[in-house]
Structure 1
Amino acid sequence: MKYKSTRGRSFQDSTYKTLLEGLSEDGGLYLPLDLPKIDIKDNDIKNFTYTDYAEKIIGEIFNDIDKEVLSEEIKLAYKSFDREVLPIKKLDSLYLMELYHGETFAFKDFALSLLPKLISRALEKENPDKKILILTATSGDTGSAALYGFKNVKNTKIIVFYPTKGISEIQKKQMVSVDGDNTYAVGVRGNFDDAQSALKEIFNDKEFKDYLRDKNYLLSSANSINIGRLVPQIVYYFYSYFTLVKRGEISNGDKVSVSVPTGNFGNILAAYMAKKMGLPIEDLICGSNKNKVLTDFINTGSYNANREFYTTNSPSMDILISSNLERFLYYELEEDPDKINNLMNKLKSSGAYSIDPALLNNIYGYSYNDQETLEEIKRVFDNYNYLIDPHTAIATAGARDYLKNKDTKVLVASTASPFKFAGSIVSALGETCSDEISAIDLVEDLTGIRAKNFKKLLNSEIKQKRQIEKSDIKEVIREILK
């Protein structure tokens, strides 16, 4: 497979090289030169496991990776998941894809269990005499999944930068307690956008990249700017759709819609790409919290990041600059890099841009504040005796609002275990608690639903204690590489 940048001046002729580069040299994001159409046969629907779908779909895109190698790494990646890799829970017309049965209990595990293995293969094949530095900013779940995934991977260092405020105690503890020889979690005083913008500058800083080169390091990312993060996420939309076919909930070819809580637009972009690859998806439903820059964009065509940043009870969506929206716009704007450069230059200079809202007629945007999110958690529990986390609550609320004017079935991305946000669950159920461990105990008592490994996690030893200003990121990287 060959790859092109959304900004039109960078190309790569192999998957391995693209995975290693991460962000393209022209500042854009890589996409496959041609997205394949996926044909799932009746016999496949009957017999395929999750890893079979992964091998077929990832293999069609990463078609220049040896099939036996890819198969081996995919099987290893999902070996750490629960026996049922992706359960799907039916709530009337909603089908919740439980994307949190991996090692860190969030949907990021689907990509970040596989990406480190592929990057290690890529390094071995393309640059066996080099090491690789993975730099990643996180709004919560990416950080722990990346650290777990890259832990002790040969010739690799990974540094995750997380905001010191606004993430749950469990999310933070998952990152600072990872004890790999090559893993580093660094708190940045500020929000996710501060950390992400600083890292993007580093990826485009020729002098700093020369410094890394002198240290014998290549630079890459585990954020969803890396195509290796995005492609594995496409798989679970195909798997979920054809699981509904297998169960007799829908007929093959029936259209469904997809509801995703999103801040950086990667997870919903994977659904959009699945649609482009032939999956019968009718509409995309984008759920936002009080940081509703995406909802406003979808409803008006105007993207404006010049607004107050809010810390909410759905912290993984506390984002004002949605990186993956650039890939979506590239497809929607006739794959014209000049148009993308124009929009991204406007975003950089003024924090805003606009497009024709008519281009957004198959995507719906809804947003909910903290109180509305808690009310949705309680509504779902009261009606179904089923717990959802605050991010998933935004997706189910968006799906329900969408269905007021539509008659279809909706796949909902349930992105994290509710116990990662036990404090919010307690609040939703009308109680109070003093800390995260107490919250987990109380949720268990209130619901009769058991947590899984979280209390053990919260009692684990803290390994990483760095907290810095955004301006100190380069210096911390230099210190770590020494």
Structure 2
Amino acid sequence: MKYTSTRDGSVETDGASAVIDGISADGGLYVPVALPKLDYTEFLGLDYIKRADKVLRAFFDFDVSGVAQDAYGTFDTDEPAPVVKLDDRLFVLELWHGKTHAFKDMALSVLPRLLVRAKAEKSVASKTLVLVATSGDTGKAALEGFKDVDGTEVCVFYPTDGVSRVQKLAMQTQAGDNVRAVGITGNFDDAQTAVKTAFRDDRLKTALGENNITMSSANSINIGRLVPQIAYYYSTYCDLVDAGEIKAGDKIDFIVPTGNFGNILAGWYALKMGLPINKLVCASNRNNVLTDFIKTGEYDVNREFYKTESPSMDILISSNLERLIYETSGRDATKTAERYAELKATGRFSVSEDEIDAIRETFACDYADDDDTEQAIADMFDEYGYLIDTHTAAAYAVAMRRELVRPTVVVSTANPYKFAPAVLRALGEPAQGEATADTLRELEDMTAMDVPQSLADVFDLPVRFDDVVAPDRISDYILRGYGK
């Protein structure tokens, strides 16, 4: 398996190098030169770990044996990604049974192990500084995943006023000798742009090199982060077949809450690899740049940014869309580079009618505002006695507007307790302000869903990291912290 860059077709590298580098030197994202084909019938009857192992082996030709076992053995259930049946046509895929109770654990429990194996494959002795921009959940999952991993440092940047209190405390109180969490005074897009810029900062790379440190990424711009997510689409489909809910070959729909587009792009890869998916429905919140793109073919981030009750989706610049743009352009790296240069210069670009028509063959879209998500939480709990968070609620709100003509899977991305005040308000309780330990216990008393102990504990742990920097000072911060 070889990889190339979305912005430079002359690039060709192997999987180990792609994982180590995180991002191509030209600023593009690594993509497979050709996607592997995986026959889903070979996944039937297997457990999740064996299915994930098959996916990893299809993409990486270095030693990945035992990676899935080690990663998912840390989860709080025997089944890392259970599928819950609500009715004959509606199912929920729970992706929040990892250590940090969010779907990011599905990949960020794998990536540190992949990175260690990749460095061994390439005989890389330098220390790796893993830089992360987060809208909330990726940061904690990366900190937990890379905690005390030999040969690594991890530094997470998050919008200091753009995450929930539970998310912030989870990062600020993180244990580990090689971790650091830093607030920024902007939003997630500012953090993401600054981190991408750091990867291309020659002054920073030189200073880190003098300290025997190279940079990599734990965001889904890293192909090693994206590939593990393909497994849960295969596993969901096979679970439905194994349970007799569908017949092998039947097509199903997925409704995916997404801001950075990685979660849903993994489903597109699964489809192209042979999984019988009918539609991938992109569910946005009020920051609905992705919805507008799929509807119009114009990607325009020149719009008001909203802080919503689903903060992990408060994103305008969706990194993984670049991989889809590249694929639907006919894998034209020059055109993709031009479009992203235009985005940087003007805040917008558009694709051709043929390209957006091709995208719409697979993708549908809609969005939900805060009122919609609150109503969806209440409706789901009233109808099924099933509790969801504010991000899953965006997907459920979108699902309820659609005619469910075939089995439909709502992808659930976070434990409801991570956003307890908003969930309580949706259920009619006057929860105001930020979460406290009492807020979580109140939700537990009301719903009988157990509070994860690690979430309850964050209110009592000492804050280790309280630095806040401006986005344009991120490179300087990294230089002071890790440079020579």
- Per the TM superposition, whether the score is higher than 0.5 is yes
Gaps of 5+ in 2: none
Measured after TM superposition, the shift of residue 239 of structure 1 is 0.3
> Quick one: which of 262, 265, 273 aligns to 1:266?
262
Q: What is the CA deviation profile of residues 183-227 of structure 1, one whole-angstrom value per residue up to 9, with x for unaligned ones?
A: 000000110011111111111222221222122111110000000
Percent of pairs with identical residues:
46
**Aligned residue identity for 1:480:** G
Measured after TM superposition, the shift of residue 385 of structure 1 is 0.6
- Pairing 1:291-310 to 2, within 5 Å after superposition: 291-310=287-306
Contact 2:422 2:431 survives alignment (8 Å): no
Aligned to 1:353: 349
Contact 2:31 2:323 survives alignment (8 Å): yes
Aligned to 1:226: 222
Measured after TM superposition, the shift of residue 342 of structure 1 is 2.0
Measured after TM superposition, the shift of residue 21 of structure 1 is 0.6
Distance 2:446 2:40 in 1: 43
Distance 1:214 1:126 in 2: 20
Measured after TM superposition, the shift of residue 126 of structure 1 is 1.9
- Pairing 1:108-123 to 2, within 5 Å after superposition: 108-123=104-119
Q: Which deviates further from its counterpart, 406-415 or 282-291? A: 406-415
Q: Structure 1 residue 72 and structure 2 residue 66: aligned?
A: yes
Distance 1:385 1:400 in 2: 16
Q: What is the CA deviation profile of residues 392-447 of structure 1, one whole-angstrom value per residue up to 9, with x for unaligned ones?
A: 011112222232xx511112210000111101111101112354222211111222
Contact 1:2 1:11 survives alignment (8 Å): no
Q: Structure 1 residue 57 and structure 2 residue 59: aligned?
A: no
Aligned to 1:7: 7
Q: Structure 1 residue 394 and structure 2 residue 389: aligned?
A: no
Q: Which deviates further from its counterpart, 86-95 or 315-324? A: 86-95
Q: Structure 1 residue 89 and structure 2 residue 88: aligned?
A: no
> Quick one: which of 288, 298, 308 aligns to 1:312?
308
Measured after TM superposition, the shift of residue 360 of structure 1 is 2.6
Distance 1:411 1:455 in 2: 29
Aligned to 1:335: 331
Q: Which deviates further from its counterpart, 378-387 or 430-439? A: 430-439
Aligned to 1:374: 374
1:396 is paired with a residue of what secondary structure? Answer: helix
Contact 1:288 1:294 survives alignment (8 Å): yes
Distance 2:315 2:40 in 1: 36
Gaps of 5+ in 1: none
Distance 2:143 2:50 in 1: 26
Contact 1:10 1:26 survives alignment (8 Å): no
Contact 1:10 1:24 survives alignment (8 Å): no
**Aligned residue identity for 1:242:** C
Aligned to 1:462: 463
Q: Structure 1 residue 45 and structure 2 residue 40: aligned?
A: no
Aligned to 2:21: 21
Distance 1:346 1:481 in 2: 33
Distance 1:231 1:422 in 2: 31
Change (3 A) 1:188 1:417: same
Q: Which deviates further from its counterpart, 205-214 or 142-151? A: 205-214
Aligned to 2:161: 165
**Aligned residue identity for 1:107:** F
Distance 1:127 1:311 in 2: 44
2:458 is paired with a residue of what secondary structure? Answer: helix
Aligned to 2:412: 414
Distance 1:269 1:40 in 2: 18
1:13 is paired with a residue of what secondary structure? Answer: strand
Distance 1:71 1:244 in 2: 27
- Pairing 1:207-246 to 2, within 5 Å after superposition: 207-246=203-242
Q: Structure 1 residue 202 and structure 2 residue 168: aligned?
A: no
Change (3 A) 1:168 1:286: same
Aligned to 2:124: 128
Measured after TM superposition, the shift of residue 364 of structure 1 is 1.1
Using the size of structure 1 for normalisation, the TM-score is 0.96
Q: Which deviates further from its counterpart, 470-479 or 346-355? A: 470-479
**Aligned residue identity for 1:200:** K
**Aligned residue identity for 2:65:** S
Q: Structure 1 residue 325 and structure 2 residue 354: aligned?
A: no
Measured after TM superposition, the shift of residue 123 of structure 1 is 2.1
Q: What is the CA deviation profile of residues 89-111 of structure 1, one whole-angstrom value per residue up to 9, with x for unaligned ones?
A: 11222211100000000010011
Q: What is the CA deviation profile of residues 366-396 of structure 1, one whole-angstrom value per residue up to 9, with x for unaligned ones?
A: 1111111101000000100110001001111
Change (3 A) 1:309 1:216: same
Distance 2:339 2:180 in 1: 34
Contact 1:388 1:414 survives alignment (8 Å): yes
2:116 is paired with a residue of what secondary structure? Answer: helix
Distance 2:51 2:279 in 1: 23
Measured after TM superposition, the shift of residue 15 of structure 1 is 1.2
Contact 1:89 1:98 survives alignment (8 Å): yes
Measured after TM superposition, the shift of residue 156 of structure 1 is 0.8
1:303 is paired with a residue of what secondary structure? Answer: strand
Distance 1:72 1:255 in 2: 31
**Aligned residue identity for 1:410:** T
1:162 is paired with a residue of what secondary structure? Answer: strand
Stretches of 4+ aligned residues off by more than 6 angstroms: none
Using the size of structure 2 for normalisation, the TM-score is 0.95
Distance 1:156 1:458 in 2: 28
Q: What is the CA deviation profile of residues 141-196 of structure 1, one whole-angstrom value per residue up to 9, with x for unaligned ones?
A: 00000000000111111100000012111111111111211000000011001111
Measured after TM superposition, the shift of residue 9 of structure 1 is 4.3
Contact 1:255 1:282 survives alignment (8 Å): yes
Measured after TM superposition, the shift of residue 50 of structure 1 is 0.5
Aligned to 2:97: 101
**Aligned residue identity for 1:460:** L
Measured after TM superposition, the shift of residue 4 of structure 1 is 0.6
Q: Which deviates further from its counterpart, 161-170 or 431-440? A: 431-440
Measured after TM superposition, the shift of residue 127 of structure 1 is 4.1
Contact 2:172 2:466 survives alignment (8 Å): yes
Distance 2:350 2:470 in 1: 32
Distance 2:457 2:337 in 1: 48
Distance 2:10 2:214 in 1: 17
Distance 1:306 1:470 in 2: 19
Q: How many residues align?
A: 474
